[in-house]
Amino acid sequence: MSEVAVKVEIMVPEGHSEQVYHHPTAEEKFLWKGHIPDSTTVVQFLEKLAFEHRVIRDKVYVPGEERFMAEYMIILNGRFLPANEMKVTILRDSDEITILPVPFGG
């Protein structure tokens, strides 16, 4: 096991508009620090976050089902992480994860 610090920022729609987002509250923007096994994947970490943080569980990710509640995407260190890579991408110390709704519409 190694200690890992992961910056998490969640952008959620404001009200019923999918086009307007509020700045993350302290609950939605935090630095997670803790020990995780060296081979922890993004999906495994999301499962852990969902169990530990109500905002993740209530707005973003369904623990135990390995799925997002709505159309969200993961940005890992400034790069979009496709869903098929989340189960195989291993987190490293100082990684930054941003959880964003997928932009859509026109």
Domain ranges, ordered by start, for the chain: 2-101
Task: Look at residue 40 and tell me whether its pLDDT is greater than 70.
Answer: yes
More confident residue, 79 or 102: 79
Question: What confidence tens digit (pLDDT) does each residue in 50-101 have?
Answer: 888 887 888 788 888 888 877 788 889 999 999 889 999 999 887 888 887 7
Q: 2-101 belongs to which CATH class?
A: alpha beta
Q: What is the pTM of this model?
A: 0.76
- Average pLDDT score over residue span 19-43: 73
Question: What confidence tens digit (pLDDT) does each residue in 14-27 have?
Answer: 554 455 555 666 66
